[in-house]
A and B are shown apart, each in its own frame.
Chain A
Amino acid sequence: MAFDSFDAFVMMGGHGPYVWTCYLVFFILSFVLILWSRKQRNAALKGLALRQVSGQTSGPAGKTVTNHGNTGADFARVDPSKH
């Protein structure tokens, strides 16, 4: 141990606020990114599962359906009244 007491460890010779701020921000933001990534993953799995249940999976079995560029609605405005 480089410190004589727990108080000395927390104070860090007056540098405590700086050191602990850094560690706190580091761990909080890292956890936020990890949780967000997990949430995205679970949402993707859930979305795919829902699509399977509702039977909208129209791709031919065993074949990879690739997007040939023009099939996506790129830059196209979606008219909400038609949905």
Chain B
Amino acid sequence: MWQFFHKLGSPKWFYGIASRLMPWLFWVGAALFMAGVVWGLAFAPPDYLQGNSYRIIFIHVPSAFLAQSVYIMMAVSALVTLVWRMKLADVFVKSAAPVGALLTFLALFTGAVWGKPTWGTWWIWDARLTSMLILLFLYFGAIALGNAISDEKSSARAVAVLVLVGVVNIPIIKYSVEWWNTLHQPATFKLTEKPTMPAEMWVPLLLAVLGLYLLFGWLAFMRMQTEILVREGRTRWVMELVQAGGRA
């Protein structure tokens, strides 16, 4: 276990593992995601109440789900950065933040477009929507702070503290639909209960969520490799890697 942990801290070891995993993450992720989306768009039955507008769920829920998961992963990495000073943890935080920001924006955007035919409004300042907007600003804050400080160690620590403080927003997003009156419907998936949707709706949704998870992994790995190349540019293994055309 500890040996694994130490290896994980080695950028060289990580670069090689990432290169080997990335094709799998991409192809399996893209296949699952596309299967979920096509199934959801063309084959799932229409909702008895919302008609066909509910088909937005097959990208809205995966985006929103990932937006929050990515933030939690970043918070765990931030803790690792502060406690063990592991460089790779900071590499993950910096690489994942723009992806998380985009996913949060997409969750908000698809939610707004879905809200128009369903609720009659693009936006309301209710708890779920506002806390998601705060999540977007937390992502922006982490990106901006990371870019503003050029010293690698100070930047890592500052961003880690910001990300950790912001994690308080995650339970607020999660429980906002239960604590406050809101237009937003409650969670589609719960670990403890069976989904209230029929299987023809929740199976494609689950495929899309899993697929997007894997695709996020692929993109995060690619971005982490770039960050490692930039940071470790003067080490011997990176020089050899560059001579080999970037393949580990």
Contacts and interface: CB of A to CB of B under 8 A. Distances in A.
Interface of A: 1-3, 9, 12-16, 18-19, 21-23, 25-26, 29-30, 33-34, 37-38, 40-41, 44-45, 47-49, 51-52, 57, 59, 61-65, 67, 69, 72-75
Nearest to B101: A33
- Majority-rule SS of B interface residues: helix
Given A2-B43, A12-B53, A64-B235, A41 B229 contact: yes
A9 B79 CA distance: 48
A13 B152 CA distance: 54
Interface of B: 37, 41-46, 51-53, 55-56, 59-60, 63, 98-99, 102, 105-106, 109-110, 113-114, 116-117, 149-153, 219, 222-223, 225-226, 229-230, 232-236, 238-239, 242-243, 245-246
Contacts of B99: 33
Contacts of B113: 18, 21-22
B109 A52 contact: no
Contacts of B223: 37, 40-41
29 contacts: A2-B45, A3-B42, A15-B52, A15-B117, A18-B56, A18-B114, A18-B116, A22-B56, A22-B59, A22-B60, A22-B113, A26-B59, A26-B63, A26-B106, A29-B105, A33-B98, A37-B219, A40-B223, A40-B226, A41-B223, A44-B226, A44-B233, A45-B229, A48-B233, A57-B239, A59-B235, A64-B232, A73-B150, A75-B150
A44 B67 CA distance: 27
A36 to B, nearest CB: 8
A57 B234 contact: yes
A33 B53 CA distance: 26
